[in-house]
Structure 1
Amino acid sequence: MRNSGVPSRLLIWGAGLALIFLVGNAQAARKVTYLIVEDKAHPFQIVQGSESRGGIISDMVDAIFAGDEYTVDHQVYPINRLRQVVAKEQVNFWVAYEAVHWHTFGNQGLMVEEPLFNTRHVLLTCREDIPDRITRLEQLRGLNLVMLRGFDYQALDSAIEGGLIAEVPIDRYEAGIQLVAMGRTDGFVEMESRLKYHVRTSGVGNTDCLRWIDFSAIIPNFPLYISVDIDWPPAFRDFIAQRIRTLRASGELERIMDHYLGSDYSPNLGFGTAE
């Protein structure tokens, strides 16, 4: 048989490189890059000194990938930088959290079909004349309401633009809670879980007057999901979905919520009924 002209040692060397490449890719695919927002994501993602320090969703992500199959690399970015590195594909095989209407990652991410938990919005207030449940925007007429700068409050945008309510923009949860507790503003609109956490940890004094007004008729409850890099295969999303179902059934997701929010907080983790 005639020799192909390629020295056998080159064939062996080329095969070795191919094997190294395949092994390297397999190892890279097992490393999960978990994207974390540096600021204002407490208690979902807690960051101190630019380092990840847990949080509800961070702990859930670690629980999802617990075991030998995957390793999780927590990477912290300011929100605008995070969007940029994803858009420019400067990070690979990432996961993050997302809501359907946020569109944080554009066409670069796909959401896992199984949600983590549901969110609900409340109006935190010390005013006794505000009803326990807000059912229409007209009930807010003339109110000065604290809102986090740069956040999307959906239905309230038109009320602000039309002069129905006045927005009091703030950059820190603690500042907003203090304004409400001191009676310097009429209320603070935000996710209940975020407000519960910051009321518990902020150290703001004299919060006995605080009332938690149901705001779900104005900003409907919505679920949070895990979003993954489009380069992950479909089987990866299926794996995450099954792990979420397993952790929910075992009570682990609820235990994580209780750790940060207290046992008196009752999120919709089962999604069987509306909140």
Structure 2
Amino acid sequence: MKRFITIMLTLQICLASFTVHAESINYYVIAKQAMPFQIISNNNQHTGMVSDIVSSVFAENYTVNYHTYPFNRMISELESGGEKNWVTYGSPNWGGVQAANLSDIPIYTVSHSILTHAKSDLVFRDFKDVNDKVFILLNGFDYPSLQPFIDSGEINELRVKDYAAAFRILDRMPQDAIFVEMTSRIKYNLKLLSKDLKDYKLQDFSAIIPGYPIYLALDPNMDSDIQKFINQQLLLLSNSGTLTKIINRYI
């Protein structure tokens, strides 16, 4: 009898494990604008800080389906429910669907900088040093710390579709324009576009946009066993130093 019970319990555990691992994970990727967090190569290979972490979390027994959209379209898809058991990245600072259900531990701490042309004589200390500048911002993204200044008209914003456009404007308006963006994204895209950092100046912008953590953002209706698995895997990756190694590939 004991042997029978043991066998049945083992079968139940195996079946439960199979049920969880049979699920597909739907990973949402921002097209073109999210490097180095999410990078898509010409042959449609997915790399980048977040993508490599997601691959490591689901390295075994799970199928990861990739869904790539422009930022605004991705948000619309997720707000309407998205595919079952979806994953992307987010932060409490962003609000909305990218903050509704986050992993237990953060995966990276974001800092922001302002990039100016090397010819600029700007030295940033506080807002009065930049309130007469044109703020170059990426189209589609929200900047909660800047929004009150934008709403009041204290900031003259110029939205661009990508980093190449931002760098071109700095080249054309060296004394009048500043590009506000995540430090890691600026550095990565300068390198990607064969730009020399010596031709620009990078200054810390944490006085206006303080650093904050980002997490894996999860489907609010995600299967509880899968969510538990994700958090367990992230903790293992953090404790083993793997998270740090992944981040260091790109910064």
Farther-moved stretch of structure 1 (49-58 vs 208-217): 49-58
Contact 1:122–1:191 (CA<8 Å) still a contact in 2?
yes
- Please point out which of 48, 52, 64 is paired with 1:59: 52
User: Over aligned residue pairs, what C-alpha RMSD do you find?
Assistant: 2.7
Residue deviations 1:111-139 (CA, integer Å, cap 9, x gap)? 112111110100111355333x53x3222
Q: 1:86: which partner in 2?
A: 78
Q: Report how far residue 106 of structure 1 moved.
A: 7.2
Residue deviations 1:206-235 (CA, integer Å, cap 9, x gap)? 541322211111011111111212332434
Deviation beyond 4 Å, 4+ runs, structure 1 = none
Distance of 1:34 and 1:146 partners within structure 2: 29
Contact 2:135–2:157 (CA<8 Å) still a contact in 1?
yes
- Please point out which of 92, 96, 101 is paired with 1:110: 101
Contact 1:45–1:52 (CA<8 Å) still a contact in 2?
no
Q: 2:181: which partner in 1?
A: 190
Structure 2 unaligned residues grouped into runs of 5+? 1-14
Distance of 1:148 and 1:90 partners within structure 2: 24
Distance of 1:186 and 1:85 partners within structure 2: 34
- Please point out which of 163, 167, 178 is paired with 1:173: 163
Structure 1 unaligned residues grouped into runs of 5+? 1-21, 262-275
Shift of the 203–231 alpha-carbon distance from structure 1 to 2, 3 Å rule, reads same
- Please point out which of 138, 143, 150 is paired with 2:140: 150
* 2:250 alignment partner, SS class: helix
Q: Which amino acid aligns with 1:186?
A: A
Shift of the 245–185 alpha-carbon distance from structure 1 to 2, 3 Å rule, reads farther
Q: 2:11: which partner in 1?
A: none
Distance of 2:223 and 2:84 partners within structure 1: 13
Identity of aligned residues (%): 29
Residue deviations 1:213-263 (CA, integer Å, cap 9, x gap)? 1111101111111121233243433332232232223232222222222xx
Residue deviations 1:130-156 (CA, integer Å, cap 9, x gap)? 33x53x322213112211122212232
Q: 2:34: which partner in 1?
A: 41
- Please point out which of 12, 23, 34 is paired with 1:30: 23
Q: Which amino acid aligns with 2:30?
A: V
Q: Which amino acid aligns with 1:144?
A: V
Q: Which amino acid aligns with 1:37?
A: I
Name the count of aligned residue pairs: 234
Q: 1:201: which partner in 2?
A: 192
Q: TM-score, normalised by structure 1?
A: 0.74
- Please point out which of 213, 224, 233 is paired with 1:223: 213
Shift of the 71–47 alpha-carbon distance from structure 1 to 2, 3 Å rule, reads same
Distance of 1:106 and 1:211 partners within structure 2: 31
* 2:135 alignment partner, SS class: strand
Distance of 1:149 and 1:243 partners within structure 2: 34
Shift of the 90–117 alpha-carbon distance from structure 1 to 2, 3 Å rule, reads closer
Distance of 1:225 and 1:162 partners within structure 2: 31
